[in-house]
Homo-oligomer: A and B are copies of this chain.
Amino acid sequence: MNIAFLGPKGTFCHEAAEKLAGSASELEPFASIEDVFEAVENESVDAGVVPIENSVEGSVNSTLDCLASTNVKIIRELKLAVKQNLLALPGVELKSVRRIVSHPQALAQCRKFLKTIKAEHAEASSTAKACQTLDDESAAIASKLSAKIYGLTVLKEGVQDYAENATRFVLLSKKNESPTGKKCKTSIIFSVKHAPGALHEALKAFAVQEINLTKIESRPSRQKKWEYYFYVDFEGNCESEKAKKALKELEKHAKFVKTLGSYNEA
């Protein structure tokens, strides 16, 4: 199995890919979330791993938008505890740091810590990429795995604002896979007509079947201004009788419905 992940090496996504992939898999870093989706969709890889949601910062917008615009399935999910650290080149001290570099989500996860240091903030395409751009006046926010890979020292450990910080990653494939056992989740995208109670009617389909929604999120449709796509996760398999009935009912009220797959947690 060739598996694409949001690189470079040493990102939390790399760690997630290692846990989601079989031991015989070959892991390949890609430059962006969009690139991972493209590789999965045109089948130049067998599967791909991208972050979808952080427990503090919320959804990863690029991933949600790609799920709507491409034709790939979610076949597994993984929750990974996120511990951010301030890393620098060996010999660099905290007091000489003038610039802190990281991925925007990582910077956002450390907002309180960043307020305690007088330094400008710079965006990198990943936490690992940030580690590769350091000089004597800069530091990166990244994982300990990155410190090891890029030969950096840890100036400060656990700099994320919230101790209970975790990120959900999903394994993507062109082909559907059936989840095993009863404990699984289904992800769908739908849009509703702009009318009173339209979303309520759509959600009623699940309430009637006593299906528990674990998440609802909206994103701009990009088709029309101020029109939204709804991303819903619910407990259970989309092939179950209850889910089939709910989805059939939802289709009556929605402008479109797209099932992203039913999957287990790794």
CB pair B200–A207 under 8 Å, yes or no, is yes
Contacting B at CB under 8 A, from A100-128, are: 104, 107-108, 111, 121-123, 125
Contacts of A211 in B (CB 8 A): 196
Classify the secondary structure of A's interface with B: mixed
Which residues of B sit under 8 angstroms from A204, Cβ to Cβ?
200
**CB atoms of A207 and B197 under 8 A apart:** yes
Is A95 an interface residue when CB atoms closer than 8 A count as contact? no
Q: So how many copies of this chain end up in the complex?
A: 2
Which A197-218 residues have C-beta < 8 A from chain B? 197, 199-201, 203-204, 206-207, 210-218
Q: In the complex the two chains form, is A226's CB within 8 Å of B55's CB?
A: yes
A56: shortest Cβ distance to chain B, in Å?
A: 6
Q: Does A24 contact B (CB under 8 A)?
A: no
Q: How far is the CA of A34 from the CA of B222 in the complex (A)?
A: 28
A61 touches B57 (CB 8 A): yes
Chain B, Cβ-Cβ closest to A225: B55
Beyond the given A55-B220, A195-B212, A196-B207, please list 11 additional residue pairs across the A-B interface where CB-CB is below 8 A.
A34-B111, A57-B61, A58-B219, A61-B108, A107-B123, A123-B123, A197-B206, A199-B213, A200-B204, A200-B207, A217-B218
22 intermolecular pairs with C-beta atoms under 8 Å apart: A55-B220, A55-B225, A55-B226, A56-B222, A57-B61, A104-B123, A121-B125, A123-B123, A164-B224, A164-B225, A195-B212, A196-B207, A196-B210, A196-B212, A196-B213, A197-B210, A199-B213, A199-B216, A200-B206, A215-B226, A216-B230, A218-B218
Instruction: List residues of A whose CB falls within 8 A of some B CB.
Output: 34, 54-58, 61, 104, 107-108, 111, 121-123, 125, 162, 164, 166, 194-197, 199-201, 203-204, 206-207, 210-220, 222, 224-226, 228, 230
